[in-house]
Amino acid sequence: MDVKSAFLNGFIEEEVYVRQPPSFESARFPDRVYKLRKALYGLKQAPRAWYARLKSFLLKSGRGGDTLIVQIYVDDIIFGGSFHALVSSFAEQMSREFEMSLMGELQFFLGLQIKQGPEGTFIHQAKYTRDILKKFEMGDSNPVTTPMSTNTVLDANEDGEAVDQKEFRGMIGSLLYLTATRPDIQFAVCLCARYQASPRTFHRQAVKRIFRYLKFTPELGLWYSLGSSLSLRGFSDADHAGCRIDRKSTSGTCHLLGTSLVFWSSRKQASVSLSTIEAEYIVAASCCSQLLWMKATLSDFGLKFGKIPLLVDSTSAISVAKNPVLHSRTKHIDVRFHFLRDHYEKGDIDLIHVVSVNQLADIFTKPLEFDTFTRLRGYRLKVLTMHSSRGD
């Protein structure tokens, strides 16, 4: 649903006065000002006032023991509930309170295309992909099968020819928004984004390869199966000293609810790791933190979890977390990362070793060969399954 003139619905608590608009001055009191009772567009308090009004209405309405989930983005609202009558009732109440347009079943939201079916939901950005290919004149480029070659080594390349910084940043920004449904390009895009300050021809070529990969796979997206279980688990991996400039490691994590990928990240670590064990331990701690946050959030929806599996392909990092004797060898690691062991002892997480070939987070840490890349992207358990919008 779409709320018409959303900010005009907000009541403001402060005293705010505005001048009379030109050509609409009062004939009797042309020098007076108006005191606002409601917010106006352009007023700093307008967004806060609108959200306060909406929050008050939603809390006052109440839903008893039923589940109603409402997602709000300024004046665009998507919602769903535990049964159809609840959804219809909510739509009627909102229409009575605010002037709004009901758009029907969700199909398009903030550039995301949503296709719902009896087996699950498919989210993709095929139209957006075609639009950015056209925008950056890559629509007729030769497609490639991976977003980055395993032979590619990106560095500052200060001797290379400088390119248009505005265009390069535009390409990176467009690709970053696409990562909302394309985890397969997350690592390549984030790696290229590090060189926005002083891009060179070599960097632009790397970005153009990502576009050529998109030309090869324009309709990939995320598949959320209706029959998926509600078990929670995480994968963590690290590429030790992967950055060629400062030798910081790259962390890769992904989190799954059943067989559905719900969170993923690829980022450079904040400090230099002295060993592979340290790099793996740091990313595992970060993954643990995210899992605990997800566990707390999902508990608000009535979902309870026991020990959450955290799959790591480094037996040494697991040993450091489980064995307090080994902590004497890791005093150089920041103390905040040692909370991993604390939560292991509390039973919040269970550290499990996974062989490297089944480490799903590997796709977020380094360029991979075609066979490995496609296997992780289309994992048989539908962890990173990419279904086309045609359903094939």
Q: Are 144 and 209 in contact (CB under 8 A)?
A: yes
pLDDT for 301:
83
Q: What integer is the mean pLDDT of 325-351?
A: 77
Q: What integer is the mean pLDDT of 361-389?
A: 73
Last residue of a domain, one of 192, 216, 240: 216
pLDDT for 241:
93
pLDDT for 389:
39
My answer on whether 242 and 322 are in the same domain is: yes
What are the structure tokens assigned to 367, written together? 């360029």
Indicate whether 390 pLDDT > 70: no
- Those residues with Cβ within 8 angstroms of residue 125's Cβ, 6 or more apart along the chain or in another chain: 111, 112, 113, 178, 180, 181, 182, 221
- Those residues with Cβ within 8 angstroms of residue 290's Cβ, 6 or more apart along the chain or in another chain: 234, 253, 255, 263, 265
My answer on whether 135 and 100 are in the same domain is: no
| Confidence category of residue 332, pLDDT binned at 50, 70, 90 | low
Q: Write down the mean pLDDT value for the chain.
A: 89
Q: What integer is the mean pLDDT of 284-291?
A: 95
pLDDT for 80:
87
Asked if residue 92 belongs to a domain, the reply is yes
My answer on whether 80 and 143 are in the same domain is: no
Q: How far apart are CA 69 and CA 149, in angstroms?
A: 42
Asked if residue 199 belongs to a domain, the reply is yes
Which residue reads 């078990």 in tokens? 231
Q: How many CB atoms lie within 10 A of CB 293?
A: 12
Report the share of the chain in percent with pLDDT over 90: 61
Q: How far apart are CA 131 and CA 270, in angstroms?
A: 35
Which residues are bridge partners to 114 per DSSP?
123
Asked if residue 166 belongs to a domain, the reply is yes
Q: What integer is the mean pLDDT of 359-388?
A: 76
My answer on whether 12 and 85 are in the same domain is: yes
Indicate whether 326 pLDDT > 70: no
C-alpha 8 chain-centroid distance: 31
- Give the number of domains in the chain: 3
My answer on whether 244 and 335 are in the same domain is: yes
Q: What integer is the mean pLDDT of 131-137?
A: 97
pLDDT for 228:
81
Give per-residue pLDDT as tens, 16-58. Answer: 999 998 888 898 998 899 999 888 888 888 999 999 999 999 8
| Confidence category of residue 380, pLDDT binned at 50, 70, 90 | very low
- Using alpha carbons, select from 284, 371, 359 the residue that is nearest to residue 320: 284
Which residue reads 């799959």 in tokens? 311
Q: What integer is the mean pLDDT of 341-355?
A: 93
Q: How many CB atoms lie within 10 A of CB 95?
A: 13
Residue range(s) defining the domain that contains residue 49: 2-104
pLDDT for 339:
85
Q: What integer is the mean pLDDT of 98-110?
A: 88
Indicate whether 348 pLDDT > 70: yes
Asked if residue 38 belongs to a domain, the reply is yes
pLDDT for 65:
73
My answer on whether 313 and 207 are in the same domain is: no
My answer on whether 237 and 344 are in the same domain is: yes
DSSP string, 231-300: -EEEEEEEETT--TTT---EEEEEEEETTEEEEEEEEE-SS--SSHHHHHHHHHHHHHHHHHHHHHHHHT
My answer on whether 255 and 344 are in the same domain is: yes
Indicate whether 384 pLDDT > 90: no
Last residue of a domain, one of 322, 338, 354: 354
pLDDT for 205:
97
My answer on whether 47 and 164 are in the same domain is: no
Q: How far apart are CA 258 and CA 339, in angstroms?
A: 26
My answer on whether 350 and 244 are in the same domain is: yes
Radius of gyration of the chain (CA): 25
Asked if residue 376 belongs to a domain, the reply is no
Which run of H or of E encompasses 73? Answer: strand 68-73
Indicate whether 320 pLDDT > 70: yes
Q: How far apart are CA 53 and CA 49, in angstroms?
A: 6
pLDDT for 381:
33
Q: Are 205 and 149 in contact (CB under 8 A)?
A: no
Asked if residue 287 belongs to a domain, the reply is yes
My answer on whether 135 and 212 are in the same domain is: yes
| Confidence category of residue 387, pLDDT binned at 50, 70, 90 | very low
Asked if residue 366 belongs to a domain, the reply is no
State pTM to two decimals: 0.87
Asked if residue 177 belongs to a domain, the reply is yes
My answer on whether 47 and 90 are in the same domain is: yes
Give per-residue pLDDT as tens, 204-251. Answer: 999 999 999 999 999 899 999 888 888 999 999 999 999 988 999 999
Indicate whether 383 pLDDT > 50: no
pLDDT for 324:
65
Give per-residue pLDDT as tens, 170-209. Answer: 999 999 999 999 999 999 999 999 999 999 999 999 999 9
Q: How far apart are CA 282 and CA 96, in angstroms?
A: 52
Instruction: Specify the CATH number for the domain of residue 255.
Output: 3.30.420.10
